[in-house]
């Protein structure tokens, strides 16, 4: 389809691309999950809950499951409106449009208690970028005050924050303080041979005003299915064409993608990361700042991408929880933070970008500077100090950005780096 046709096409009503992101920790790690009769190998805790049970919960939220991929540490559900990730001890529900994300919370708490014996919440996070069309939202999502009031009825230890310009792009966050857990894992819990403490690290790249050339590939006005072509196979081909499959090494990535008709794209990916894949690429070394032996890290992470390409409300989001180095590296298999930002921005060519890095504060020490300050430096260098060559435009035009906001926050147990950029 030509770019002109893509520009002419508009849905009957604007679609709210910016997502509502809900994350619930029922325990500090999978090691604390109670033993269950139906558990097997890595399928413990919340991963023992049936797909049908989760689908019934998602009916409350007003979205559907399109597909599921199962990893060693988590299951990734691709939804009609974004994504749902299930780990033994943690859930991440990310939904866009006018979905009722928070209304699914009471049912999630019931399922966790009844089917996984997880009766308390260790930590809770809810965040979102400012809406483009707040007047279209339903239920408690009509405004931030209502969302906070709704959550305060469920949690007694919550705090709400507005980060950024109230009259511009800003980010909203509600989180609870950690509930105490014993230092020693109770014997009735699931046995774990070696407990590998994972860095809790989440980077979001939220992009608006995508260029016409970058938006055009995400329109599918012609019939998608037929002759062996499905929404998943079409999205897979597009992922390869645009370089999405190469954001992380394909050998470490299991990608699940979907092309929406007449327009739109979503994908989940599970990524294997560990000592080998992080070689020469990891800030948190096996030796701590005081010279004591550190903890080696490995695990399975995710990234998720969602694209709304219509002119007037174009939006794309990228979220990832694989720990990335803020130092430039050419040897590691996992991209450093600057390389990741450039790869993502090259694909979508946004006019405006909001970046957030949320990291557990016990891991926020790289020696001379904190991880969030190192991240802020990486944000700036990636977007303002070296031109980004678009991969979609036919002209060889470099794209340069200017930073319009920079904020660091320290919370109980977590630190946040927030920054906004616009085309220069």
Residue ranges for the known binding site for substrate are 15, 81, 260, 310
Does the active-site annotation cover 266? yes
Cα–Cα distance for residue pair 84/117, rounded to 1 Å: 20
Catalytic one of 266, 325, 329, 420: 266
DSSP 317: E
**Beta carbons within 8 Å of 50's beta carbon, 6+ residues apart:** none
DSSP 241: H
Cα–Cα distance for residue pair 204/282, rounded to 1 Å: 19
Q: Which two tokens stand for residue 269?
A: 């990916």
Q: Is 146 exposed, middle or buried (0-12, 13-18, 19+ CB in 10 A)?
A: middle
221: Cα separation from own chain's centroid: 28
Catalytic one of 29, 80, 87, 96: 96
Peptide bond into 372 cis (omega under 30): no
Catalytic one of 141, 198, 297, 306: 306
Q: Is 81 helix (H, G, I), strand (E, B) or coil?
A: coil
Does the active-site annotation cover 40? no
Contact indicator for 216, 348 with CB cutoff of 8 Å: no
Contact indicator for 250, 59 with CB cutoff of 8 Å: no
Residue ranges for the binding site? 15, 81, 260, 310
Does the active-site annotation cover 306? yes
Contact indicator for 95, 20 with CB cutoff of 8 Å: yes
Does the active-site annotation cover 96? yes
Q: Which two tokens stand for residue 381?
A: 């260098």
**Residue 284: count of CB within 10 angstroms of its CB:** 21
- Name the one residue in this structure whose structure tokens are 């990361």: 273
* Residues forming the active site: 82, 96, 266, 306
């Amino acid at each position: 389809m030509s770019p002109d046709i893509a520009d002419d096409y508009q849905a009957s009503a604007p679609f709210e691309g910016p997502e509502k992101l809900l994350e619930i920790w029922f325990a500090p790690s999978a090691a604390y999950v109670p033993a269950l009769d139906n558990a097997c190998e890595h399928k413990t805790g919340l991963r023992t809950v049936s797909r049908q049970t989760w689908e019934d919960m998602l009916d409350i939220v007003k979205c559907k499951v399109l597909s599921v991929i199962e990893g060693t540490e988590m299951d990734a559900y691709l939804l009609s409106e974004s994504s749902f990730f299930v780990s033994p001890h943690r859930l991440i529900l990310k939904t866009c449009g006018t979905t009722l994300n928070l209304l699914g919370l009471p049912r999630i708490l019931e399922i966790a208690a009844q089917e996984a014996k997880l009766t308390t919440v260790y930590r809770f996070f809810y965040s979102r970028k400012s809406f483009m069309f707040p007047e279209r939202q339903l239920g408690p999502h009509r405004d931030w005050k209502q969302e906070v009031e709704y959550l305060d009825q469920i949690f007694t230890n919550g705090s709400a924050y507005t980060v950024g310009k109230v009259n511009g792009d800003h980010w909203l966050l509600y989180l609870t303080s950690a509930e105490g857990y014993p230092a020693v894992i109770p014997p009735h819990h699931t046995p774990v041979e070696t407990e590998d403490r994972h860095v809790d690290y989440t980077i979001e790249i939220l992009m608006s005003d995508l260029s016409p050339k970058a938006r055009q590939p995400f329109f599918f006005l012609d019939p998608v299915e037929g002759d062996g072509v499905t929404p998943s196979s079409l999205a897979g081909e597009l992922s390869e064409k645009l370089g999405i499959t190469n954001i992380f090494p394909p050998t470490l990535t299991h990608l699940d993608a979907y092309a929406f008709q007449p327009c739109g794209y979503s994908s989940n990916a599970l990524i294997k990361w560990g000592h080998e894949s992080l070689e020469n690429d990891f800030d948190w070394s096996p030796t701590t700042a005081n010279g004591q032996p550190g903890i080696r890290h490995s695990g399975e992470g995710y990234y998720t991408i969602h694209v709304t390409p219509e002119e007037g409300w174009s939006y794309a989001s990228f979220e990832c929880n694989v720990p990335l180095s803020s130092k430039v590296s050419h040897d590691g298999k996992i991209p450093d933070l600057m390389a990741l930002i450039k790869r993502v921005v090259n694909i979508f060519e946004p006019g405006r970008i909001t970046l957030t890095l949320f990291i557990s504060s016990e891991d926020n020490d790289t020696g001379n500077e904190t991880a969030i300050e190192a991240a802020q430096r990486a944000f700036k260098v990636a977007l303002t100090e070296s031109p980004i060559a678009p991969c979609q435009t036919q002209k060889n035009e470099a794209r340069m950005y200017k930073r319009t906001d920079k904020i660091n926050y320290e919370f109980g147990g977590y630190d946040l780096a927030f920054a906004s950029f616009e085309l220069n």
